[in-house]
Structure 1
Amino acid sequence: MPTYYNEEFETLPRQALEALQLKRLQSVIERVYSNVPFYRDSFNKNGVSPANITSLDDLQCLPFTTKQDMRDSYPYALFAAPMEEIVRIHASSGTTGKPTVVGYTLKDIETWTDLMARSFVAAGVHKGDIIHNAYGYGLFTGGLGAHYGAERLGASVIPISGGNTKRQIMIMQDFGSTVLTCTPSYSLFMAEEAGVEGVDFKKLKLRVGIFGAEPWSEEMRREIEEKLNLDAIDIYGLSEIMGPGVAIECIEAKQGLHIWEDHFIPEIINPETGKRLAPGEKGELVITTITKQGIPLIRYRTRDITSLTYDTCKCGRTHARIARMSGRSDDMLIIRGVNVFPSQIESILVGIEGVEPHYLLIVDRKDNLDTLQVQVEVDERLFSDEVKVLQVLSRRIEKEIKDMLGVTCTVKLVEPKTIQRSEGKAKRVVDNRKL
């Protein structure tokens, strides 16, 4: 029998769910129109006002919000609540080095906590579990999002964060961890390290893994389940919308991620035209937050490519399901849970003397962890210099990328004119991962 965290809301009939959505949508539209100049100006420019929103279909009349809008509003211009009501600030990397900033009121934290607890239950987690939380803590939303949800559920949480893999394996053995939360690639790296250490995951107590923050495939799921001896569950979230817990697979079906429609309204659009697509059609996911207070977002373009289904799942939950993400409509890379745009790398490179404006990012997956190599041309004078000078330059670029973007890379300096030129859009990325 399925178990629910909040059965009333998770199994609401479609008509009742849509009535709740409309009521909350109208409320949030009033709120942003009154409190956020960006939305008031945007709505007025498009000839719409809160009074025009009389049905869920009217959502299509409203303009989109984009990541660029968030950058342009850095840091707090999109906040709908005064700073004295903001109790938490998270952020994700932006293309110019400045992050996109999100603020949470106390009520937002409560909502997020509840939705993470709801997500844990959908994944088969219960009060008696010991949750080994290896998501990163800090400005990244993963660690604290999972942490609060685990505590709300009443489970025991181990806030170990990422890194120090040998110690992680020892803790899982000694503390009797039953649930693992981390990126899917890190879970496989753990499995390899455990093999080196002579630790058999089949002898651990792990039974559920909740994996997100980076793209992964069904093939990778099968590999994780075999090597770690657990049920691997896909979770989806993004810091702009809330953090982890926007959507999750249920353990009963593992066929699409339930998006919690009492808090988020999902749409699928054609990324080129912006027109809404029918259920089952693949396109870009757009999300409207209908309960957030700190920074509500209206028709936010996630750039994630997926599809929606409204069929009732065998678990009994009535909320729509999104398919596993199959790519992005922009050039963003996700490397070990960190969002990286080629333009971010470029902004670092152009400030370094002797480096040419021609570069190539090569992404791969080695020993089940994502790797990033930055190939960059240097000028003739520098390339003919002694090896020591080139080594110093490589290390400097690696350090600046790590400091600015939080991602580890290796830099390969190459001769001028060796990176292929293009007559059209420059090819900046080679992604060799099998996702």
Structure 2
Amino acid sequence: MIAPPATVAEFSARVPFTTKADLVADQAAHPPYGTDLTYPIARYTRCHQTSGTRGAPLRWLDTPESWEVMVDDWVELLGVAGIGPGDRILFAFSFGPFLGFWLGFEAGQKVGALCFPGGGMSSPLRLRVLLENSCSVLCCTPTYALRLAEVAAAEGLDLNRSQVRTIIVAGEPGGSLPATRQRLETAWRGARVFDHHGMTETGPVTFENPAIPGHLRLFENSFLAEVIDPGTGKPQTIGETGELVLTTLRRIGSPLLRYRTGDLVRARTAPNNSLLFEGGILGRVDDMVVVRGINVYPAALDEIIRAVPEAGEYRVTFDTRGALTELNLELEASDAVAKEVARRLQRALGLRISVTAVSAQSLPRFEHKAHRWQRR
């Protein structure tokens, strides 16, 4: 019998990476759930599914034990966010097959909060539910929180009446970026933003560390984390940007070993030696665009745009068909604001990026994960 790895270093040296492509191929070869199952199918009671926006969706099964482990992680998250009995939480997401805020809804009940499901509702209806029921917590993506504030203004709904004091955001980068947080807190009359991230395949992964703003903390009881160079697969040192790799420790019904998440992070060490990610999730490995030799990440662009108060919704188009990648930005703003954004982009990134002013409400809006970047 082969002896198991004795150290983390030996584990990393001996165990190969798992990729999403591996999981997709396994489920295609062994439909519908693949072979990454610890128990007979009869033991599983939950099935969730990835969104499929980056290829074939994955179906992910959980036993009651694995599900409860993830709910307990969310209970810890809510406790750190100061949420408990007496709070009223609106979960403004579709309650579709992806994992989303299903765990958060059950955790909210477990901590004694009154929970409102927002699936199947229009944005104006969600706002009315939030205001009429004096909800104190809003759970959604950063983009959708901004969208709700925009809809409130259009519908004549006064957010000064809102009792929301905490907005828990997830699903896309932004919740740990200062400019995005400031815009959210201004739009929601001083409500505090609390960032979190997770994946259907892994469950909840990180939550905000209130003692160190702008950093996400790993659920260290649930994961072994590594940060690697996306190109070489070699370990990155603390402070370097790299791809997050996770091994699940407690979600054993469908375990993952050294799973390449595709999420870009910059690891730091807290004073108590816990692992933190500075700036939250910085973007996706496959979202990075190289423009004239410079790596451009969507989160970096978003941070620059959100820092200009008059800048509205935007869309980025990039063209990789020529010898050099071209990046163009459409922005709901005046010509003067568009020029200011272009100036800030050049100063921060060292690139001249075309910024075109377009009329208000002319660009798409998103209720869940935003898809602002388009390839030609």
Q: What band does the TM-score fall into relative to the shorter chain?
A: 0.7 to 0.9
Of 103, 111, 118, the residue aligned with 1:145 is 103
Say if 2:83 is the partner of 1:130.
no
Tell me the CA shift for residue 254 of structure 1.
2.4
The aligned amino acid for 2:268 is T
Tell me the CA shift for residue 370 of structure 1.
7.4
Say if 2:224 is the partner of 1:265.
yes
Map 1:127-276 onto structure 2 (within 5 A).
Answer: 127-161=85-119, 163-216=121-174, 217-229=177-189, 230-242=191-203, 245-276=204-235
1:112-161: CA deviation from partner (whole Å, max 9, x where unpaired): 11111111111221222101111221211113122111112121110113
The residue aligned with 1:58 is 10
Of 10, 16, 25, the residue aligned with 1:72 is 25
The residue aligned with 2:321 is 421
The residue aligned with 2:47 is 89
The aligned amino acid for 2:182 is R
Q: Contact 2:173–2:281 at 8 Å: present in 1 too? A: yes
The change in CA–CA distance for 1:290 and 1:420 in structure 2 (over 3 A counts) is: closer
Of 241, 255, 259, the residue aligned with 1:282 is 241
Aligned counterparts of 2:92 and 2:314: Cα–Cα separation in 1: 16
Secondary structure of the corresponding residue to residue 194 of structure 2: strand
Say if 2:287 is the partner of 1:326.
no
Secondary structure of the corresponding residue to residue 142 of structure 1: coil
Secondary structure of the corresponding residue to residue 321 of structure 1: strand
Aligned counterparts of 1:143 and 1:332: Cα–Cα separation in 2: 27
Report the TM-score when normalising by structure 1: 0.64
Aligned counterparts of 1:370 and 1:295: Cα–Cα separation in 2: 39
The residue aligned with 1:311 is 270
| Aligned length, in residue pairs | 305
Gaps of 5+ in 2: 28-32, 290-304, 332-344, 346-371
Give the % identical residues.
29
Aligned counterparts of 1:231 and 1:240: Cα–Cα separation in 2: 28
Tell me the CA shift for residue 58 of structure 1.
1.9
Tell me the CA shift for residue 201 of structure 1.
1.9
Aligned counterparts of 1:305 and 1:326: Cα–Cα separation in 2: 5
Aligned counterparts of 1:177 and 1:369: Cα–Cα separation in 2: 26
Tell me the CA shift for residue 250 of structure 1.
3.1
Q: Contact 1:65–1:301 at 8 Å: present in 2 too? A: yes
Q: Contact 2:314–2:329 at 8 Å: present in 1 too? A: no
Aligned counterparts of 1:297 and 1:212: Cα–Cα separation in 2: 22
Q: Contact 1:287–1:298 at 8 Å: present in 2 too? A: yes
Q: Contact 1:188–1:368 at 8 Å: present in 2 too? A: no
The aligned amino acid for 1:328 is R
Tell which deviates more after alignment, 162-171 or 215-224: 162-171
The aligned amino acid for 1:111 is V
Q: Contact 2:239–2:266 at 8 Å: present in 1 too? A: yes
1:260-282: CA deviation from partner (whole Å, max 9, x where unpaired): 11111111111111111222221
Q: Contact 1:123–1:250 at 8 Å: present in 2 too? A: no
Q: Contact 1:179–1:208 at 8 Å: present in 2 too? A: yes
- Taking only aligned residues, the RMSD between alpha carbons, in angstroms, comes to 3.0
The aligned amino acid for 1:322 is F
Aligned counterparts of 2:253 and 2:193: Cα–Cα separation in 1: 33
The aligned amino acid for 2:187 is K
Q: Contact 1:89–1:103 at 8 Å: present in 2 too? A: yes
Tell me the CA shift for residue 95 of structure 1.
6.8
Tell which deviates more after alignment, 105-114 or 322-331: 322-331
Secondary structure of the corresponding residue to residue 99 of structure 1: coil
The change in CA–CA distance for 1:202 and 1:96 in structure 2 (over 3 A counts) is: closer
Aligned counterparts of 1:190 and 1:281: Cα–Cα separation in 2: 35
The residue aligned with 2:302 is none
Aligned counterparts of 1:259 and 1:319: Cα–Cα separation in 2: 8
The change in CA–CA distance for 1:114 and 1:332 in structure 2 (over 3 A counts) is: farther
Aligned counterparts of 2:154 and 2:53: Cα–Cα separation in 1: 38
Aligned counterparts of 2:202 and 2:157: Cα–Cα separation in 1: 39
Aligned counterparts of 1:70 and 1:115: Cα–Cα separation in 2: 24
Say which structure is richer in helix: 1
Q: Deviating runs (4+, > 6 A) in structure 1? A: 364-373, 427-435
The change in CA–CA distance for 1:255 and 1:98 in structure 2 (over 3 A counts) is: closer
Report the TM-score when normalising by structure 2: 0.73
Tell which deviates more after alignment, 205-214 or 159-168: 159-168
Tell which deviates more after alignment, 319-328 or 219-228: 319-328
